[in-house]
């Protein structure tokens, strides 16, 4: 409320300032300012190019309104006594008169009723002559006056219609802007939510990253150990495989030679025959011809000692066939 | 100078160096200095015109000559436009001392000169010639700009500015410049016709 009132006051002050400035310019052009004020205004005009143009425009307006008889009696007197005292200005007014008369005639506007008899410029002053002429002139004036009143009534009605239409357009525009404002507010809320989600996700990712950074063994090393099969009788025994139980995770590899079973199974047991695990196992291929059955183990879980790993293959009819036995030591 | 200012300044002409100093005082950048010079000259001419000087352009030339001379003599001028403004006012007041430059009020004028119809015709002819000499777009603009009068005038000019896609102030400024050019052209042509304005025909008693 206060802001509105303040706005109105400031607008009023602004309008008053403009009126004061226009009045000052008019007085300057009509020679009504004291020398000091004239000099001060001119100094202002030297700096403010826009105001200089404004004064020039005001001069042209004065000249035009004088020529077209639109000036009040008092203004006309002041204009004639000051502005027209300069030969240069008289020439300017004469040129403007020629120019504007030509233009007015070219648009077919030869006569227009002036409310003030005295506003006719000095160049257009002429005696009316006989009373008959006066009567005719009065009649014409009367007719023109009536015509102008009717015309102004129609003009006013038209103007009222135009104002209503402009107001309607403004109302529609306001409604549109309000809707747009609502849409934008809703979109803004969505964005805020999205940003909050993203920020939360970002925090999570940061925390995960931090956790991963704190775990130096985040990607544990898996050691692959190729087990040598137990020799058949008469063969020289290959060196026995040894696994350190400190290595952690390990993958035991058992080479497959021309064995093409659908599935594989391993049984791990101690040399004393105690079964530790029995499990189906996968098959991995290295290169074109070599393939291995694999058994992932955690060496740390083994107690030190000797172990036997028996590899079975499952035939298509469901039978299990022993393929090989592997001996290894955990130390 | 038509004897309108002090005799002592008639024979003195500014040197090129002096004029360069004058421009440098307005702005170190020569291009900007040129623009500022034109703007200052236009403003001072209009000030003296509005004050009623008979030959404002010549008075401003005299003003610039005097200021340039000061600069050549080694005087330091801080605010050149303001300084020139002060000198221009002085030159104008001095010009009024000359009897030929005295202002004549209209009432007084009507006693000594009667407008002659043929002067108006010649003026109209000059005006038409000058209008024809204008580039077509300028001619159309100025005729269109002044076409309406009274209350319709402002709406018409606003609509015109909208149509041209320029602000109303810019349109006003453009119309003013064309009008000024037109007026100068008419005055020049009247001079060529050896037709001085009618109020100068009879010498002032």
**What is the secondary structure of A10-31 as a DSSP string?**
HHHHHHHHHHHHHHHHHHHHTT
Q: Phi and psi for A274 in degrees, rounded to 5?
A: -80, 120
Q: What percent of chain A has pLDDT over 90?
A: 13
Same structural domain, B97 and B82: yes
Same structural domain, B127 and B41: no
How far apart, in whole angstroms, are the C-alpha atoms of residue A253 and residue A265?
13
Boundary residue ending a domain (B101, B122, B141): B101
Asked if residue A31 lies in contact with residue A83, where contact means CB atoms within 8 angstroms, the answer is yes
Question: How many CA atoms are closer than 13 Å to the CA of A236, on its beta-carbon side?
Answer: 2
- pLDDT (0 to 100) of residue A219: 57
Q: Looking at CA atoms only, how far is residue B65 from chain A in angstroms?
A: 19
Beta bridge partners of A269: A275, A308
CB contact under 8 A, B146 and A103: yes
Instruction: Describe the crossing of helices B80-95 and A35-47 by its angle, rounded to 10 degrees.
Output: 140
Q: Mind listing the pLDDT tens digit for each residue in A183-209? A: 888 888 888 888 888 888 888 888 888
pLDDT higher than 70, residue A96: yes
Q: What percent of chain A has pLDDT over 70?
A: 82
pLDDT higher than 80, residue A75: yes
DSSP-assigned letter for residue B116 = -
CB contact under 8 A, A43 and B82: yes
Asked if residue A53 lies in contact with residue B176, where contact means CB atoms within 8 angstroms, the answer is yes
Boundary residue ending a domain (B101, B130, B161): B101
The per-residue pLDDT of chain B, averaged, comes to: 82
- pLDDT (0 to 100) of residue B147: 85
Q: Is residue B1 part of a domain?
A: no
> Which of A36-40, A133-137, A294-298, A317-321 is the most confident on average?
A36-40
Same structural domain, B94 and B43: yes
Q: Looking at CA atoms only, how far is residue B123 from chain A in angstroms?
A: 7
Domain extent, residue B129, equals: 106-200
Q: Mind listing the pLDDT tens digit for each residue in A256-284? A: 877 678 788 999 999 888 888 888 888 88
- pLDDT (0 to 100) of residue B198: 45
pLDDT higher than 60, residue B142: yes
Q: Is residue B64 part of a domain?
A: yes
- pLDDT (0 to 100) of residue A120: 46
Tokens of A288: 């074109």
Tokens 């100094």 belong to A43
- pLDDT (0 to 100) of residue A99: 87
**Gyration radius of chain B's alpha carbons:** 21
Confidence band of A236 (pLDDT split at 50, 70, 90): low
Same structural domain, B44 and B91: yes
pLDDT higher than 70, residue A234: no
Instruction: Describe the crossing of helices A49-67 and A2-29 by its angle, rounded to 10 degrees.
Output: 60
How far apart, in whole angstroms, are the C-alpha atoms of residue B47 and residue B67?
17
pLDDT higher than 60, residue A121: no
Asked if residue A305 lies in contact with residue A252, where contact means CB atoms within 8 angstroms, the answer is no
Q: Is residue B2 part of a domain?
A: no
- Beta-sheet pairing, A223-227 with A241-243: unpaired
Closest among B204, B5, B30, B200 to B94, alpha carbons compared: B5
Which residues in chain A (93-122) have CB-CB distances under 8 A to chain B?
94-95, 98-100, 102-104, 106-107, 109, 112, 122
CB contact under 8 A, B124 and A80: no
The per-residue pLDDT of chain A, averaged, comes to: 80
How far apart, in whole angstroms, are the C-alpha atoms of residue A145 and residue B88?
50
CB contact under 8 A, A123 and B176: no
- pLDDT (0 to 100) of residue A2: 55
Which CATH number is B132's domain given?
A: 1.10.10
Closest among B31, B134, B56, B71 to A91, alpha carbons compared: B56
Instruction: Describe the crossing of helices A49-67 and B168-192 by its angle, rounded to 10 degrees.
Output: 60
Boundary residue ending a domain (B101, B136, B162): B101
Q: Is residue B166 part of a domain?
A: yes
Q: Is residue B205 part of a domain?
A: no
DSSP-assigned letter for residue B6 = -
> Which of A6-15, A37-46, A67-76, A164-173 is the most confident on average?
A37-46
The count of domains in chain B is 2
Q: Looking at CA atoms only, how far is residue B137 from chain A in angstroms?
A: 16
CATH annotation of A223-330: 2.60.40
* Residues contacting B2, CB < 8 A, separation 6+: B55, B58, B100
Task: Say which residue, B29 or A241, is predicted with more confidence.
Answer: B29
pLDDT higher than 50, residue B1: no
Same structural domain, B96 and B11: yes
Same structural domain, B152 and B187: yes
Confidence band of A8 (pLDDT split at 50, 70, 90): low
CB contact under 8 A, B50 and A28: yes
Tokens of A243: 């696994």
Nearest residue in B to A25, CA atom: B50
Residues in B touching A42 (Cβ below 8 Å):
43, 47, 85
Contact status of B87 with chain A (Cβ, < 8 Å): no
Nearest residue in B to A76, CA atom: B106
How far apart, in whole angstroms, are the C-alpha atoms of residue A76 and residue B30?
45
Same structural domain, B72 and B129: no
Task: Say which residue, B92 or A154, is predicted with more confidence.
Answer: B92
pLDDT higher than 80, residue A31: yes
Q: Is residue B32 part of a domain?
A: yes
ipTM: 0.80
Exposure pattern of A266-286 as b/e (b: 16+ CB <10 Å)?
bbbeeeeeeeeeeeebebeee
CB contact under 8 A, B53 and A60: no
CB contact under 8 A, A86 and B199: no
Beta bridge partners of A290: A286
Contact status of B120 with chain A (Cβ, < 8 Å): yes
> Which of A107-116, A231-240, A251-260 is the most confident on average?
A251-260
pLDDT higher than 90, residue A58: yes
Q: Looking at CA atoms only, how far is residue A195 from chain B in angstroms?
A: 43
Confidence band of B195 (pLDDT split at 50, 70, 90): low
pLDDT higher than 90, residue B179: yes
Asked if residue A97 lies in contact with residue A67, where contact means CB atoms within 8 angstroms, the answer is yes
- Beta-sheet pairing, A320-330 with A305-314: antiparallel
CB contact under 8 A, A39 and B40: no
A67-76, A231-240, A313-322: least confidently modelled range: A231-240
| Beta strands per DSSP E along chain A | 223-227, 241-243, 249-256, 263-270, 275-286, 290-298, 305-314, 320-330
pLDDT higher than 60, residue A112: no
CB contact under 8 A, B199 and A90: yes
- pLDDT (0 to 100) of residue A40: 94
Q: Mind listing the pLDDT tens digit for each residue in B58-110? A: 999 999 999 999 999 888 898 999 999 999 999 999 988 876 666 665 555 55
Which residues in chain A (3-42) have CB-CB distances under 8 A to chain B?
28-29, 31, 38-39, 42
pLDDT higher than 90, residue B44: yes
pLDDT higher than 80, residue A24: yes
What integer is the mean pLDDT of A313-327?
A: 86
Same structural domain, B194 and B110: yes
Same structural domain, B40 and B88: yes
pLDDT higher than 60, residue A150: yes
Same structural domain, B83 and B154: no
For residue B137, the Cα-to-chain-centroid distance in whole angstroms is: 23
A14-18, A88-92, B173-177: least confidently modelled range: A14-18
């Amino acid at each position: 409320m206060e802001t509105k009132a303040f706005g109105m006051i400031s607008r009023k002050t602004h309008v008053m300032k403009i009126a004061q400035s226009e009045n000052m310019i008019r007085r300057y052009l009509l020679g009504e300012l004291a020398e000091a004020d004239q000099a001060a205004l001119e100094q202002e005009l030297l700096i403010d190019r826009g105001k200089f143009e404004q004064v020039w425009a005001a001069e042209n307006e004065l000249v035009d309104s004088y020529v077209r008889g639109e000036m009040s009696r008092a203004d006309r007197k002041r204009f004639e006594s000051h502005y027209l005292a300069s030969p240069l200005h008289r020439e300017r007014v004469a040129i403007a008169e020629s120019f504007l008369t030509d233009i007015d005639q070219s648009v077919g506007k030869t006569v227009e009723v002036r409310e003030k008899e005295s506003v006719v410029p000095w160049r257009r002053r002429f005696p009316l002559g006989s009373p008959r002429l006066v009567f005719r002139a009065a009649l014409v004036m009367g007719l023109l006056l009536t015509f102008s009143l009717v015309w102004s009534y129609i003009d006013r009605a038209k103007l009222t219609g135009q104002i209503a239409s402009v107001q309607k357009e403004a109302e529609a525009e306001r409604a549109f802007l309000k809707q747009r404002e609502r849409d934008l507010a809703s979109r803004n809320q969505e964005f805020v939510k999205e940003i909050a989600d993203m920020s939360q996700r970002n925090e999570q990712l940061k925390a995960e990253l931090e956790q991963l950074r704190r775990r130096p063994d985040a990607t544990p090393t898996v050691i692959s150990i190729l087990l040598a099969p137990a020799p058949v009788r008469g063969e020289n025994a290959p060196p026995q495989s040894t696994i350190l139980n400190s290595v952690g995770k390990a993958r035991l590899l058992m080479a497959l030679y021309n064995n093409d079973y659908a599935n594989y199974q391993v049984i791990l047991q101690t040399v004393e025959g105690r079964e530790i695990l029995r499990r189906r196992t996968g098959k991995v291929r290295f290169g074109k011809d070599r393939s291995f059955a694999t058994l992932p183990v955690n060496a740390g879980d083994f107690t030190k000692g000797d172990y036997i790993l028996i590899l079975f293959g499952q035939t298509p009819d469901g039978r299990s066939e022993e393929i090989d036995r592997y001996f290894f030591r955990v130390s | 100078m038509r004897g309108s200012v002090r005799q002592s300044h008639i024979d003195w002409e500014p040197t090129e160096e002096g004029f360069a100093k004058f421009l440098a005082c307005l702005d170190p950048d020569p291009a900007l200095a040129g623009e500022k010079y034109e703007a200052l000259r236009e403003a001072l001419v209009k000030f003296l015109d509005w004050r009623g000087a008979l030959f404002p352009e010549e008075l401003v030339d005299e003003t610039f000559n005097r200021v340039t001379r000061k600069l050549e003599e080694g005087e330091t001028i801080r605010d050149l436009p303001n300084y020139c403004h002060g000198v221009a006012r002085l030159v104008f007041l001095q010009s009024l001392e000359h009897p030929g430059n005295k202002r004549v009020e209209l009432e007084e004028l009507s006693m000594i000169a009667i407008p002659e119809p043929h002067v108006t015709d010649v003026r109209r002819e000059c005006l038409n010639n000058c209008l024809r000499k204008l580039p077509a777009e300028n001619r159309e603009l100025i005729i269109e700009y002044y076409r309406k009068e009274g209350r319709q005038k402002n709406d018409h000019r606003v609509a015109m500015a909208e149509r041209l896609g320029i602000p109303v102030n810019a349109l006003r400024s453009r119309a003013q410049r064309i009008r000024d050019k037109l007026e100068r052209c008419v005055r020049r042509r009247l001079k060529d016709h050896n037709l001085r304005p009618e109020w100068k025909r009879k010498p002032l008693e």
